[in-house]
Amino acid sequence: MQGLVHIVDDDLSFLTAMERHLKHAGYEVAVYPSAQALLDRLPSDDSVPGCILLDVRIPGIDGLALQKRLKELGSTLPIIFVSGHVDIPVTVRALKDGAEDFLTKPVTSDDLLTAIERAFARRRAFREQQTKLDVVRALIAKLTPRERQVFELIVAGKTNKQISSILGAGERTIKAHRHGVMEKMQVRSLAELVSVAERVGVLGGIHDSQQTASLS
């Protein structure tokens, strides 16, 4: 199975045509005549690759409102909007809020399949990145409380001497902790350690706390 496409549209003829077309192209398809119907059967984004093909103008909860609601619910399924009307402000808003693409009806087969494949590709890249981040977070979790302190001070740019002064420990002890941090984080250089901290947001948190402290 190439992936699962969820189609939300109140136009039953469009739903039927899209379902037939996408199944012929090798996709699994789930159809919903309204936003509420999709919310009632909220699709998981963990089991199989998926995306949502969403009409903008649907009765009840419209496309933009559904996009916002899905984000609030923590869904990370890519959304491809489709509309029978060209509305620049709506398009801009949808894309700014994270929509994968915005297509205008009638949608050509090539444009539709290209948009879906692009959504799946970006989704795969996102999941791979999340997996890498989870690995890094797991490594950080293995640090002892003292090693975590040393780790944060290292990536904040502090020298061993400065860390020694801040933590009230000898430089030799700090060097030992530093070595332990590098080993547990599986890095061989300060640059790698800083890069890892930046990716998981540790560095930004340190800078924020330092700025807060300097203002108080």
pLDDT at 8: 95
> Which of the 8 DSSP states describes residue 88?
H
pLDDT (tens digit, 9 = 90+) per residue, 75-116?
889 999 998 877 788 888 888 888 999 998 888 899 999 999
CA distances from 176 to 19, 137, 182, 191 (A): 62, 22, 10, 19
200 belongs to a structural domain? yes
pLDDT one-digit tens code per residue, 144-192: 999 999 999 999 889 999 999 999 999 999 999 999 999 999 999 999 9
**Residue 32, in any domain of the structure:** yes
Provide the number of structural domains found in the chain. Answer: 2
Does the residue 102 lie in any domain?
Answer: yes
| Domain match, 71 and 165 both | no
CATH number at residue 98: 3.40.50.2300
Residue 115 sits in the same domain as residue 184: no
Q: Judge if pTM exceeds 0.75.
A: no
The answer on 154 and 202 residing in a single domain is: yes
How far is residue 1's CA from residue 37's CA, in Å, rounded to a whole number? Answer: 24
Q: Let me know whether 104 and 17 are in one domain.
A: yes
Domain range for 112: 4-126
Same domain? 181 vs 115: no
Q: Dihedral angle at the C-alpha atoms of 197, 201, 202, 205, nearest 10 degrees?
A: 150
pLDDT digits (tens, 9 = 90+) for 35-84: 999 999 987 766 678 899 999 989 999 999 999 999 999 888 999 999 88
Indicate whether 110 and 168 sit together in one domain. Answer: no
